[in-house]
Amino acid sequence: MSGTLIPFRRSLSQFWRVYSGSKKGVLGLILVLFFFAIAALAAYVSPFDPRLIDPGRTWLPPNSVNWFGTDWFGHDLFSQMIYGTQVSLIVGMFATLISIIVGTAIGLFSGYYSKMLGEFLERVIDFFLVIPYLPLMIVLVAIFEAMETPIPILWVIIFVVGITGWSGTARIIRSQVLTVKERQFVERARAVGAGDFRIMAKHILPNVFPLVFANAVLTVAGAVLAEVTLDFLGLGDVTTISWGMMLHFALSNSAVYRGAWWWIVPPGVAIILLVMGFTMIGYSIEEISNPRLRGRKA
């Protein structure tokens, strides 16, 4: 008798009670909400237009006007940092959305259909799991850019990150689906005459959902990191204001050699904090969902 899985509405308030007790979880949540707030209020919080060039104020360390200093074109780095939040979060969330949808769908189908389709999909998941995602992303972005599509590069990035990040989700969902489909209430649904799609949608998916949620949060962390990497390598839109791009320009203009630590450290730290925030939330949710499922009395 596996544990009692409580329906979502009810579990939300109960869940919050337990979650708020987890230091890691609350800290992560604070970090993430902080960045969301900055992204939303960027126009109000930012002292300057991040694209404003000031040739007279280049390569300046942090000072009373430019709190984070300026870069090679005189851009105010503090403003750039603030606006950079937007890109990280947008790509993070949307790419994750794609990953989750694709991953859940493939995981669901491969777990539910055990014969040919299931086996085939399982191999597909395995394939994507072992492919090194970075080279794959680079290749895909390069192909898109070479095709000169009218699609803005930001969306290309979102798509590529999403498309390469689904396999982890798929694997987790698949193994959970394999367990759930053997449970007696699924057999009852079949006995009553429910078809495969109905069973997957109404019985298996809701019971797998808590896992999807935890995994989604962790995927966002990965997506943010992936986006930063692509930008850093110069594959993103060079006109984007993003932390990855900041790092890209910093290093390609020998910021290290010139000792301009203020151009490198803030974006780096911000990336770390944002990713850490999501990771902490994700792990907290996982911790809460799992032992509760296991520890319940039958």
Indicate whether 118 belongs to the interface with other proteins (CB under 8 A): no
- What values do phi and psi take at 75, rounded to 5? -65, 140
Indicate whether 163 belongs to the interface with other proteins (CB under 8 A): no
Nearer to other proteins, 198 or 258 (CB): 198
Indicate whether 298 belongs to the interface with other proteins (CB under 8 A): yes
Indicate whether 198 belongs to the interface with other proteins (CB under 8 A): yes
Residue type, 298: A
Q: Which two tokens stand for residue 112?
A: 């539910």
Indicate whether 295 belongs to the interface with other proteins (CB under 8 A): no
Indicate whether 13 belongs to the interface with other proteins (CB under 8 A): no
Helix axes 243-252, 77-112, angle to 10 degrees: 120
Part of the chain binding other proteins (CB under 8 A), chosen from 24-32, 75-83, 189-197, 284-292: 189-197
Q: Which two tokens stand for residue 149?
A: 């599509």
On whether the CB atoms of residues 28 and 284 are closer than 8 A, the answer is yes
User: What distances in angstroms separate CA 241 from CA 30, 76, 157, 189, 244, one per listed residue?
Assistant: 24, 12, 14, 52, 8
Indicate whether 10 belongs to the interface with other proteins (CB under 8 A): yes
Q: Which of 283, 140, 155 is nearest to 220 (CA)?
A: 283
Nearer to other proteins, 138 or 189 (CB): 189
CB of 2 to other proteins, least distance (A): 8
User: What distances in angstroms separate CA 188 from CA 2, 160, 192, 289, 295, one per listed residue?
Assistant: 17, 41, 6, 26, 25
Give residue 76's Cα distance to chain centre: 28
Applying CB under 8 A, among 184, 239, 257, 294 the residue interacting with other proteins is 184
CB of 286 to other proteins, least distance (A): 20
Indicate whether 207 belongs to the interface with other proteins (CB under 8 A): yes
Indicate whether 65 belongs to the interface with other proteins (CB under 8 A): no
Part of the chain binding other proteins (CB under 8 A), chosen from 85-93, 118-126, 191-199, 278-286: 191-199
Between CA 75 and CA 57 the distance in angstroms is 8
CB of 174 to other proteins, least distance (A): 20
Indicate whether 8 belongs to the interface with other proteins (CB under 8 A): yes
Indicate whether 183 belongs to the interface with other proteins (CB under 8 A): yes
Nearer to other proteins, 111 or 165 (CB): 111
- What values do phi and psi take at 254, rounded to 5? 55, 45
Helix axes 77-112, 205-232, angle to 10 degrees: 140
Indicate whether 4 belongs to the interface with other proteins (CB under 8 A): yes
**Residues engaged in binding other proteins (CB under 8 A):** 1, 4-8, 10, 183-185, 187-195, 198, 202-203, 206-207, 298
